[in-house]
């Protein structure tokens, strides 16, 4: 009798007799669902495949770094880093400076990367410290931290630029001379990275250089996770207390994870902006965290496990949905806004469901551990 | 040495050590044990203590909790005299709290600037009071969730949506004045009870991550309701788009419905400051009701469940039911809160407007001195007054010095900074 109940408890905890099969199924149910949803919508909207491919390839290239920047904190057990918004702000500060200096082309882009790095390191270090003070609540704290940093960002670029910070450029500033314009045209650096190699392949324009940067980042992340530091991060992610006992400096490892994530996010925002070509000074960064996280989760990642493949599959599926859903809404109900709100709903909903599953699994595991203790 | 002060600080220590869910900390276990044994028969005895015990003499909002925790205070003071020693020095600043001191000082400075630059201070105060009444009920909605142990209610948009639906029904029926206002509340409350109960069930299954899941539950429901607003079967031409005849407008004016009914009710002037008795009275009435609720048997049981779930369970309290009740009450207050807010604002905002509404409310109660596990009505009132006054007077006063609207930026920095402060301070971590 006791054995039966114990077996039942282990099954309930998700450790079935065939862990591999079960895990595969659980890990892939989300992408499969979204694949079906996307395909249905493509069929409903009757979309031109070349147009769709063009959109998805462009979006894959420009969003890859932002989504990849989420991987390291997940490995280090800090959950989904909503604080990549801060990295995005560092990137924007750098590109604003470069635009002000008027450095053109790829040189300007590289200079922006160079400038954003120390800013991002500083921001990541600060964020890491804050998150170390809020262990167990990292996600909500990083989200609020993003909002807070947004306030500081607005303070700097809306009130200090032009008054305290001596920038005098009528094309950048508001007519009053204080504060940055709402949109900044990035003519000098626009598409500078894409432009390097940007061939048409069967009607689809592929930004090879940008994709290569993404691939390089994937390799770099894989490499980092294989070093001693990466193994430390995994250990910290598995169990902080055991890692501490093993002699790993937990807080330091977590801060490094945050710094890496923030720096990659800053570069990611630069890649994103050079493709778009204009900067919405006060809005460009706001949605970055949400959309990147939603994309990663659509790819089948969880708050505790996220791989490069989750990121790539996620970007493709999420952005297909993103492109298609307003058109499908138009075709189905005659109201394009329905589709637009639907994709906002998908973005929020998928994050909500992922967080709920995470908490639910955590509780199941805890209960199983307690049951094991009781036995 | 003042024993009351000493026990206060120890109570605070005990409460904060109680937050960690399972016993890594041996003193935590001891504390539970002492409390459990001494007050073995639980909430009813707690209730009796409140009514007849010596603590009755201090009519403060913490009384029920103070009496529940009293054995541990006694033991704590006895076992840790050095804590009481330190308490003596830190007490005055701690009692008010550093953030409150800073914000109050900033407020005073703003008022001085206003006075020096010959602005109408009484006008500023009148506007601030309106804003306090307008936002107060939404802040009050945080108290039940914090008290029952769920934490800050970032899922407040769920209640707000219920309030919006209730208002729309009342407007669709073309009710005016107080009839419209109470009809809106009457329609919203049953809806909020249902939604709140469902939300409580969700939160129960994700214990430990309530705040994050609540935030995103709120976000996704707001986005989902955007589709509903577009497809909703409302027919009143004042509500829907003029062209197409389908879908609700982004912003609905309430002037022909129940706009400003509370604001314009029982208005009187004191030293040139106009005070809306209706609006403030309604807010204070709800505060009083919540305060009285936490003196009923159910309310005290809820406090016990929030403070110390293990003890509450051993005393025969159904912790899950208490949490469900707390979340439901909070959702109902959120629904009423948005109706009060909308009538004061004069407009009903649909679509993505409710998305971020939880954050200012959360910030207000934290500014008032609440923590993630503990909130009182005085926190609500102090926090709302400080935060809303600051926001109201920041714009007119600073615009004399700086160009542009800095109050929005100040709101972002102060409210999120305050939430961060609370999140990083609660359990610390090594």
Helices (H) and strands (E) in chain B, counts: 18, 4
Answer whether residue A13 is part of any domain: no
Integer CA distances (angstroms), A67 to A193, A214, B149, in order: 18, 10, 35
**Residue matched to tokens 């003890």:** B311
Range of the structural domain that residue A32 is part of = 22-370
Distance CA(A93)–CA(A160), nearest Å, equals: 13
Answer whether residue A323 is part of any domain: yes
Integer CA distances (angstroms), B28 to A26, A251, B22, B308, B310, in order: 38, 25, 9, 11, 11
Segment A361-365 long-range contacts (CB within 8 Å, at least 24 positions apart):
A361/A14, A362/B208, A362/B209, A363/B205, A363/B206, A363/B207, A363/B208, A364/A12, A364/A13, A364/A14, A365/A13, A365/A14
pLDDT-based confidence at residue B54 (cuts at 50, 70, 90): very low
Integer CA distances (angstroms), B305 to B62, B207, B326, B373, in order: 15, 14, 10, 11
Task: Count interface pairs A-B at CB distance under 8 A.
Answer: 137
Give backbone dihedrals phi and psi of B118, rounded to 5 degrees, phi first. 60, 45
Answer whether residue A87 is part of any domain: yes
Nearest to B217 among A154, A341, A352 (CB): A352
Decide if A133 and B430 are in contact by the 8 Å CB cutoff: no
Decide if A134 and B423 are in contact by the 8 Å CB cutoff: yes
CATH number, residue A103 = 1.10.3470
Give the contacts of B39 (CB within 8 A, at least 6 positions apart): B45, B46, B68, B71, B311, B315
Question: How many domains, in total, are found in chain A?
Answer: 1
A351 shares contact with chain B (CB less than 8 Å): yes
A340 is written with which tokens? 């637009």
**Residue of B227, B361, B373 for testing the chain A interface, max A β-carbons within 10 Å:** B227
Q: Is A303 left (phi over 0), alpha (psi -120 to 50) or beta?
A: alpha
Give the length of chain A.
375
For the stretch B95-114, pLDDT in tens is 677 778 888 888 888 888 88
Q: Please return the burial class of A173, using the count of CB atoms within 10 Å of its CB with bins 0-12, 13-18 and 19+.
A: middle
Give the length of chain B.
430
Residues 348-367 of B with CB under 8 A from A: 352, 359
Residues 158-217 of B with CB under 8 A from A: 202, 205-209, 211-213, 215-217
- Whether B22 shows a pLDDT value over 50: the answer reads no
A280 shares contact with chain B (CB less than 8 Å): no
Decide if B208 and A362 are in contact by the 8 Å CB cutoff: yes
Domain ranges of chain B: 3-95, 97-425
Are A348 and B220 contacting, i.e. CB atoms less than 8 angstroms apart? yes
Domain B97-425: state its class.
Answer: mainly alpha
pLDDT-based confidence at residue B76 (cuts at 50, 70, 90): very low
Q: Provide the shortest C-alpha distance from residue A260 to chain B (in Å).
A: 22
Distance CA(B164)–CA(B166), nearest Å, equals: 5
Mean pLDDT of B47-62: 36
Q: Percent of chain B, pLDDT > 70?
A: 75
Digit-by-digit pLDDT tens for chain A (375 residues) are 445 555 455 445 545 456 676 666 666 777 888 888 888 888 888 888 888 899 899 999 999 999 999 999 999 989 889 989 999 999 999 999 898 888 888 889 999 999 999 999 999 999 999 999 888 888 889 999 999 999 999 989 888 887 788 777 777 888 777 888 888 888 878 888 888 878 887 778 889 899 999 999 999 999 999 999 999 999 999 888 899 998 899 999 999 999 999 999 999 999 999 998 888 888 888 888 888 998 998 888 888 888 999 999 999 999 888 888 888 877 877 777 787 888 888 888 888 887 887 777 777 777 888 888 776
A140 to chain B: nearest residue by CA? B212
Q: Please return the burial class of A348, using the count of CB atoms within 10 Å of its CB with bins 0-12, 13-18 and 19+.
A: buried
Per-residue pLDDT, A71? 93
Are B366 and B418 contacting, i.e. CB atoms less than 8 angstroms apart? yes
Global pTM reads: 0.78
B299 is written with which tokens? 């309310």
Q: Which residues of B touch A141 (CB under 8 A)?
A: 420, 423-424
B325: nearest Cα among B339, B304, B356:
B304
Answer whether residue A375 is part of any domain: no
SS3 (DSSP) at B268: strand
Distance CA(B128)–CA(B398), nearest Å, equals: 16
Nearest to B220 among A132, A179, A352 (CB): A352
SS3 (DSSP) at A69: coil
Decide if B209 and A147 are in contact by the 8 Å CB cutoff: no
């Amino acid at each position: 009798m006791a054995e039966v109940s114990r077996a039942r408890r282990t099954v309930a905890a998700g450790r079935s007799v065939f862990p591999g099969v079960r895990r595969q199924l659980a890990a892939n149910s989300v992408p499969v669902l979204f694949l079906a949803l996307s395909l249905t919508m493509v069929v409903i909207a009757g979309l031109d495949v070349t147009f769709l491919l063009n959109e998805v390839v462009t979006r894959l290239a420009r969003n890859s770094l932002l989504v990849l920047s989420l991987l390291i904190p997940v490995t280090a057990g800090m959950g989904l880093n909503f604080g990549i918004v801060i990295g995005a702000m560092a990137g924007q500060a750098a590109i604003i400076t470069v635009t002000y200096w008027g450095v053109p082309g790829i040189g300007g882009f590289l200079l922006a990367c160079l400038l954003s790095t120390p800013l991002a390191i500083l921001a990541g270090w600060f964020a890491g410290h804050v998150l170390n003070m809020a262990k167990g609540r990292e996600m909500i704290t990083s989200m609020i931290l993003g909002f807070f940093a947004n306030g500081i960002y607005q303070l700097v670029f809306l009130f200090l630029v032009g008054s305290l910070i001596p920038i005098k450029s009528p094309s950048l500033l508001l007519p009053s001379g204080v504060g940055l314009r709402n949109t900044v045209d990035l003519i000098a650096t626009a598409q500078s990275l894409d432009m390097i190699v940007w061939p048409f392949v069967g009607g689809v324009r592929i930004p090879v250089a940008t994709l290569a940067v993404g691939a390089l980042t994937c390799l770099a992340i894989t490499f980092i996770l294989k070093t001693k530091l990466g193994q430390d991060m995994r250990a910290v992610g598995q169990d902080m207390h055991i890692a501490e006992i093993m002699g790993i400096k937990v807080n330091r490892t977590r801060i490094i994870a945050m710094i890496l994530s923030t720096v990659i996010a800053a570069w990611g925002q630069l890649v994103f902006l050079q493709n778009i070509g204009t900067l919405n000074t006060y809005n460009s960064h706001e949605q970055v965290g949400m959309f990147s996280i939603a994309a990663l989760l659509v790819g089948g990642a969880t708050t505790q496990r996220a791989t490069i493949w989750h990121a790539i599959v996620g970007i493709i599926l999420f952005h297909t949905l993103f492109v298609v859903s307003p058109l499908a809404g138009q075709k189905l109900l005659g109201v394009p806004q329905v589709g637009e709100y639907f994709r906002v709903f998908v973005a929020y909903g998928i994050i909500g469901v992922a967080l709920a599953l995470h908490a639910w699994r955590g509780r199941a595991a805890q209960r199983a551990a307690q049951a094991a203790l009781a036995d | 040495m003042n024993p009351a002060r000493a026990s206060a600080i120890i109570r605070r220590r005990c409460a904060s050590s109680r937050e960690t869910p399972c016993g890594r900390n041996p003193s935590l276990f001891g504390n539970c044990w002492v409390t459990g044994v001494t007050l073995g028969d639980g909430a009813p005895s707690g209730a009796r203590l409140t009514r007849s015990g010596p603590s009755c003499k201090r009519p403060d909002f913490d009384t029920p909790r103070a009496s529940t925790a009293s054995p541990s205070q006694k033991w704590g003071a006895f076992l840790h005299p050095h804590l009481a020693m330190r308490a003596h020095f830190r007490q005055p600043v701690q009692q008010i709290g550093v953030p409150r001191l800073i914000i109050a000082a900033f407020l005073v400075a703003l008022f001085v600037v206003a006075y020096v630059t010959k602005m109408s201070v009484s006008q500023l105060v009148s506007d601030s009071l309106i804003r306090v009444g307008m936002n107060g009920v939404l802040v009050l909605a945080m108290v039940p969730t914090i008290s029952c142990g769920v934490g800050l209610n970032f899922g407040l948009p769920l209640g707000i949506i219920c309030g919006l639906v209730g208002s729309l029904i009342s407007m669709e029926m073309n009710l005016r004045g107080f009839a419209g206002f109470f009809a809106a509340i009457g329609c919203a409350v049953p809806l909020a009870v249902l939604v709140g109960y469902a939300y409580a069930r969700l939160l129960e299954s994700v214990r430990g991550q309530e705040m994050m899941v609540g935030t995103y539950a709120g976000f996704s429901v707001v986005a989902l309701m955007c589709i509903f607003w577009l497809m909703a079967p409302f027919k009143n031409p004042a509500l829907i788009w003029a062209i197409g005849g389908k879908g609700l407008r982004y912003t609905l004016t309430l002037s022909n419905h129940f706009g400003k009914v509370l604001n314009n009710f029982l208005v009187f002037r004191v030293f040139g400051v106009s005070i809306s008795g209706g609006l403030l009275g309604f807010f204070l009435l709800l505060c009083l009701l919540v305060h009285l609720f936490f003196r009923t048997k159910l309310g005290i049981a809820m406090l016990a469940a929030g403070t110390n779930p293990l003890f509450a369970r051993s005393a025969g309290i159904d912790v899950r039911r208490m949490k469900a009740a707390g979340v439901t009450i909070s959702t109902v207050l959120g629904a009423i809160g948005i109706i009060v807010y909308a009538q004061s604002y004069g407009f009903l905002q649909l679509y993505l407007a409710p998305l971020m509404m939880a954050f200012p409310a959360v910030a207000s109660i934290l500014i008032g001195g609440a923590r993630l596990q503990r909130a009182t009505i005085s926190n609500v009132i102090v926090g709302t007054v400080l935060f809303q006054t600051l926001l109201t007077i920041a714009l007119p006063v600073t615009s004399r010095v700086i160009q542009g609207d800095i109050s929005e930026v100040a709101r972002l920095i102060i409210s999120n900074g305050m939430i961060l402060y609370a999140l990083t301070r609660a359990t610390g971590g090594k």
